[in-house]
């Protein structure tokens, strides 16, 4: 049997060993904790770098911004966190230029609209981007009909109840009609010029500083008619203050099916407001395909369709190739329209 004295001596000799082992364990645990902390930090950084952003080239609160935010919410389950970055200015050119110059990695995409990708290239003498070459289309998102509206009192006074009545009156009374728009080169201005050309009539264009002043001028009777966004004009149409003569889409709008299309009187007439999603040119095709799949699914969901219907907007979910072909045709169409109008902004 071992004596108490021997055990005591052994304990004294082993005490430094235990202290060394304990210190080693503490060091290992500390290193493990630091490693785990470093790994968590790295994972957080990686997650942060993978947040996608959608650049909206217009100010917050407008219809394009509202729909972009809705889409960002709808695709988060498939694409992760998507944030909206507003970069307004120069008719949308500033924000769209930022999209063009972003890294083609699928983490920065943005809005392409009728103004930025069909009208501005012919309206501005210098453009910071090439609308036809600097982008990889993902999908169109929406189409919003415009509507030709006339002041209700004017319509009654001149006995104008249909688009054909308006054309007949204009031909019988040259230079007596005028129309308002939100400014030279605006969608309303170009729709008006296209209408005049196709109908063979003349009406004086009166540009205002924005769509709201143009609408107020129409409501007060300062001008006779204009081409307005259907969502903006609908309340005054329903209130009887404005008379809707025709929508500018190729077919009637589901929102107001009783209003005929201009094309029913002037064959082939089609001009509307649209926007969609694009990535920088050079984004890999498999990345584009993944983005298209996510956003098309979101656009086709019943919840999205119901929300867009409340904005009187029509979802348009298509392939990258279809959206590319559509934008190419729109660019060519507006070259003719803008040049015929003589509109310039610089």
**Mean pLDDT, range 273-281, rounded to an integer:** 97
| pTM attached to this predicted model | 0.79
83: tokens are 């944030």
Please check the confidence at residue 234 and state whether its pLDDT lies above 90.
Answer: no
Q: What is the pLDDT of residue 346?
A: 73
Q: What is the pLDDT of residue 6?
A: 45
> Does residue 301 or residue 29 have the better pLDDT?
301
pLDDT digits (tens, 9 = 90+) for 73-96: 999 999 999 999 999 999 999 999
Residue 2 lies in a domain: no
156 and 131 share one domain = no
- Tell me how far apart the alpha carbons of residues 200 and 171 are, in angstroms, rounded to a whole number: 8
Residue 329 lies in a domain: yes
The CATH number for 237's domain is 3.40.190.10
State in Å, rounded, how far the first CA of the chain is from the last one.
Answer: 106
**Mean pLDDT, range 219-243, rounded to an integer:** 92
Q: What is the pLDDT of residue 19?
A: 52
151 and 221 share one domain = yes
Domain-terminating residue out of 264, 291, 321: 264
Domain-terminating residue out of 264, 293, 313: 264
Instruction: Return phi, psi of residue 229, to 5°.
Output: -65, 130
Which ranges of the chain does DSSP label H, i.e. alpha helix? 4-49, 63-74, 76-79, 93-100, 114, 120-123, 152-158, 163-172, 187-199, 211-219, 230-238, 285-299, 302-310, 320-341
Domain count across the chain? 2
Token pair 């003498």 is found at: 125
Mean pLDDT value across the chain: 87
94 and 151 share one domain = no
> Does residue 47 or residue 112 have the better pLDDT?
112
Residue 74 lies in a domain: yes
pLDDT digits (tens, 9 = 90+) for 33-44: 444 444 544 444
pLDDT grade, residue 304 (50/70/90)?
very high
Domain containing 173 equals 146-264
Domain-terminating residue out of 264, 294, 322: 264
153 and 298 share one domain = no
Residues in contact with 281: Cβ distance below 8 Å, sequence separation at least 6, in sequence order: 100, 104, 133, 134, 135, 136
pLDDT digits (tens, 9 = 90+) for 237-266: 999 999 999 999 888 988 888 999 999 999
Please check the confidence at residue 26 and state whether its pLDDT lies above 60.
Answer: no
Q: What is the pLDDT of residue 218?
A: 96
233 and 301 share one domain = no
198 and 151 share one domain = yes
pLDDT digits (tens, 9 = 90+) for 174-218: 889 999 998 888 889 999 999 999 999 999 999 998 888 999 999
pLDDT digits (tens, 9 = 90+) for 91-103: 999 999 999 999 9
Task: Provide the sign of the torsion angle of the four alpha carbons 75, 130, 328, 263, taken in this order.
Answer: positive
Q: What is the pLDDT of residue 33?
A: 47
171 and 276 share one domain = no
256 and 293 share one domain = no
279 and 138 share one domain = yes
């Amino acid at each position: 049997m071992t004596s108490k004295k021997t055990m005591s001596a052994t304990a004294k000799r082993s005490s430094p060993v235990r202290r060394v082992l304990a210190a080693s364990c503490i060091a290992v645990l500390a290193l493990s904790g630091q490693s785990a902390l470093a790994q968590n930090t790295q994972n957080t950084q990686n997650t942060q770098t993978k947040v996608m952003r959608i650049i909206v080239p217009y100010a917050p609160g407008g219809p394009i911004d509202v729909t972009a935010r809705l889409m960002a919410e709808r695709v988060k389950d498939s694409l992760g966190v998507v944030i909206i970055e507003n970069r307004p200015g120069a008719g949308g050119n500033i924000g769209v230029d930022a999209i063009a110059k972003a890294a083609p990695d699928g983490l920065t995409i943005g809005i392409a609209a009728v103004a930025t990708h069909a009208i501005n290239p012919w309206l501005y003498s210098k453009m910071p981007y090439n609308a036809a070459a600097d982008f990889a289309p993902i999908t169109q998102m929406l189409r919003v009909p415009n509507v030709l509206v006339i002041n209700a009192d004017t319509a009654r006074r001149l006995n104008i109840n249909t688009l054909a009545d308006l054309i007949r009156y204009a031909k019988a009374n040259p230079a007596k009609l005028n129309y308002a728009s939100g400014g030279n080169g605006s969608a309303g201005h170009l729709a008006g010029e296209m209408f005049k050309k196709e109908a063979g009539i003349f009406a004086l264009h009166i540009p205002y500083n924005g769509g709201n002043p143009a609408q107020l001028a129409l409501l007060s009777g300062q001008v006779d008619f204009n081409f307005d966004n259907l969502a903006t004009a609908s309340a005054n149409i329903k209130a009887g203050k404005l008379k809707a003569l025709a929508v500018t889409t190729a077919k009637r709008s589901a929102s107001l099916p009783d209003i005929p299309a201009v094309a029913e009187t002037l064959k082939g007439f089609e001009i509307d407001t649209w926007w969609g999603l694009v990535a920088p040119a050079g984004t890999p095709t498999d990345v584009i395909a993944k983005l298209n799949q996510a956003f098309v699914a979101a656009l086709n969901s019943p919840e999205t369709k119901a929300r867009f219907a409340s904005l009187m907007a029509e979802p348009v979910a298509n392939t990258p190739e279809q959206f590319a072909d559509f934008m190419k045709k729109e660019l060519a169409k507006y070259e003719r329209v803008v040049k015929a109008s003589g509109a310039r902004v610089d």
